[in-house]
Structure 1
Amino acid sequence: MQGENLTIWSLFFLEGFSRYPELEIVLFVFSLVMYLITLLGNSTLILIAVLDSCLQSPMYLFLGNLSFMDICYTSASIPTLLVNLLSCQKTIIFSGCAVQMYVSLAMGSTECVLLAVMAYDRYVAICNPLRYPIVMNRQVCVQLATVSWVTGCLTALLEASFALQIPLCGNLIDHFTCEILAVLKLACTSSLLMDMVMLVVSVLLLPIPLLLICISYVFILSTVLRISSAEGRNKAFSTCGAHLTVVILYYGAALSMYLKPSSSSSQEIDKVISLLYGVLTPMLNPIIYSLRNKEVKDAMKRLLGRITLHQTRENL
């Protein structure tokens, strides 16, 4: 700290779940297992999307980006959580806190936009199948993915830069990570500018993309219901089921965290939601896409077959 008001901190203490020491080992095991499954599942999806020639469609390009975001998002906070769950000194330096806050915000914001892009991709594929190769060509897909990344990274930079400049009257963060809302609770005075930035970014990245997703699925549902054969309807629904499930999980947690009144739940509940949002959702994404998508399951079988064949040749 510097000066008499002690508002510039070089070290922060993370409260985490230290109020419940008997649960810390359980939470450590739970978080570690979920994190390893997240790394394995999302890395596998990226690998098969890159290596399998049958998965070179726009949907799998976006899915690869989604998996990479989930790896980055969990890696920004979960390793620190794991260390602190086993440590008596639950600390993080200012630069580490800044990086953690920025990466979490950037990946979360980018995913909001990307899920809307993926909904548009499904809309074009089902409602305009003949024009799909033209509308969603490789260049357009790369541009849409780039827009998602740029939007998420820039809005995160805006939020984090404002948040880190606000004078803080303490260095005990009542969270297991440098989550922006938890850090802002330490502010000495409320900042109207910061509140406006948070509100504008939250509206731009939560309700608006969600509205676009809903509009896309209204058109999709209308088109699917006009398909005469049950087999055709089931095939159309199967291509959207995984994405829709991920959207419900992701936006359900995000909206409950960022758009609720501050007095509606305790900080302990916020931490539990954050843990589920930061660990469980990224872990479930590749599982959902694998279980509900025949192409992904077939690609995984081909990849496992190649690995088995390679090992057999090496043994011979």
Structure 2
Amino acid sequence: MENYTFNSFVLQMEGINVTKDLLYTIFFLLLTFYIVTMILNVGFLILTIIDKNLHQPMYLLFCNLTVSDIVGSSQIFPRMLSDLLKPPSERLIGYYECVIQAFVNQWFSSTSHTVLMIMAFDRYVAICYSLRYSAIMNNSMVMKLSLSAWAVPLIFVVVLIGLSVRLNRCRTLVSNPYCDNASLFKLSCDSVVINNIYGLFYTAVLLGSSVGCILLTYGKIVVVCFTSKNKSLNRKAFKTCSTHLVVYLIMFFSGFTAIALHRFPQYSEYRKITSLLFFVVPGSLNSIIYGVQSKEVRSFLSKIFISNRNK
């Protein structure tokens, strides 16, 4: 029979269930992914700051995604790796710490979608209004788009987490490797109908808006490319848009799978794995994908490599 503890301020993290034989293998694998993610994203952020050739709207907007990946990974992996080495009975977390982690996790995950939406708008302007691109995508517009990408999800997430915090808690086990909104309201024995309705509404608005934005902007880009006889423009469109689309699809499918599996408790271990992949896969691949396709990044790294060889 399940033990009930009402409104406890100490929670227990279920974490990842692995055998002793695989414990250190999984630990070092996740640690490697975290280190690689941090190096790539921090490196890209620093590179964008110091290289004036990267002071372009596309890269400045992409910096929002690197910041999201850095913070999102950092507020999950260090504690999760620490818990992995502890016995289950010692994987404890304070309730308010859990709420903060759930809030940050939800906010930065949502921001990844909105950042890719404003990046799609940037590509749309660059391809469809190339002659007016500099005038439209000026510093003021880049700042406004970046602020909106963070502010809009913040409003939704404050309401989302607030609905979970209002509930009385009768359980103490967080059935996840880290705290998120679903883990919070699952601690309650109160009715969570409102939470589920708002959660589905929030998910539908977020995913619907991101998918709609991608389809609309890319649809117009395709039309322009088909009607244009400018081969240079078409090559530019294919190069930049394919990169953005790959990043979006990776994030969309890893995030959607994790959300969907929350509705099926029998697949809890699969859900844990996919929820980690949402941070591991996009976080480690985004900078690589954008770095490989960028001639500015390749040029800067080549200069450094040649300079070091000549010393």
Scaled by the length of structure 1, what TM-score is found? 0.90
Deviation at 1:261, TM superposition (A): 7.8
Q: 1:264 to 1:206 in 2, by over 3 A?
A: farther
Once residues 304 and 201 of structure 1 are traced to their aligned partners in structure 2, the CA distance between those partners, rounded to angstroms, is 47
Once residues 264 and 128 of structure 1 are traced to their aligned partners in structure 2, the CA distance between those partners, rounded to angstroms, is 48
- For residue 93 of structure 2, give the secondary structure of its aligned residue in structure 1: strand
Which residue number corresponds to residue 174 of structure 1?
Answer: 175
Which residue number corresponds to residue 32 of structure 2?
Answer: 33
Once residues 170 and 24 of structure 1 are traced to their aligned partners in structure 2, the CA distance between those partners, rounded to angstroms, is 27
Once residues 161 and 23 of structure 1 are traced to their aligned partners in structure 2, the CA distance between those partners, rounded to angstroms, is 38
- For residue 92 of structure 1, give the secondary structure of its aligned residue in structure 2: strand
- 1:262-277 residue pairs with structure 2 within 5 A? 262-263=263-264, 266-277=267-278
Instruction: Tell me whether 1:42 sits opposite 2:73 in the alignment.
Output: no
CA displacement 1:183-215 (0-9 Å, x = unmatched): 322320332222222122212211212211111
Coordinate RMSD, CA, aligned: 2.2
Deviation at 1:231, TM superposition (A): 5.1
Instruction: Tell me whether 1:87 sits opposite 2:80 in the alignment.
Output: no
Deviation at 1:116, TM superposition (A): 0.5
- 1:1-316 residue pairs with structure 2 within 5 A? 6-18=5-17, 20-88=19-87, 89-228=90-229, 230=231, 232-259=233-260, 262-263=263-264, 266-302=267-303, 308=308
Scaled by the length of structure 2, what TM-score is found? 0.91
Q: 1:36 to 1:253 in 2, by over 3 A?
A: same
Q: Which structure 2 segments of 5+ residues have no match?
A: none
Once residues 95 and 30 of structure 2 are traced to their aligned partners in structure 1, the CA distance between those partners, rounded to angstroms, is 24
**Amino acid across the alignment from 2:169:** L
Once residues 290 and 148 of structure 2 are traced to their aligned partners in structure 1, the CA distance between those partners, rounded to angstroms, is 23
Once residues 156 and 120 of structure 2 are traced to their aligned partners in structure 1, the CA distance between those partners, rounded to angstroms, is 21
Once residues 229 and 264 of structure 1 are traced to their aligned partners in structure 2, the CA distance between those partners, rounded to angstroms, is 53
Q: Which structure 1 segments of 5+ residues have no match?
A: none
Q: 1:75 to 1:134 in 2, by over 3 A?
A: same
- For residue 191 of structure 2, give the secondary structure of its aligned residue in structure 1: coil
* Stretches (4+) displaced over 4 A: 229-232, 303-306
Deviation at 1:100, TM superposition (A): 0.9
The answer to whether the 8 A contact 1:25-1:85 is kept is: no
Deviation at 1:97, TM superposition (A): 0.8
CA displacement 1:50-88 (0-9 Å, x = unmatched): 111111111111111110110000011111111011112
CA displacement 1:256-304 (0-9 Å, x = unmatched): 2325682396111111100111222211111111122222222333455
**Amino acid across the alignment from 2:103:** Y
**Amino acid across the alignment from 1:140:** M
Once residues 134 and 34 of structure 1 are traced to their aligned partners in structure 2, the CA distance between those partners, rounded to angstroms, is 40
Identity between Structure 1 and Structure 2 (%) = 26
The answer to whether the 8 A contact 2:182-2:262 is kept is: no
The answer to whether the 8 A contact 1:42-1:70 is kept is: yes
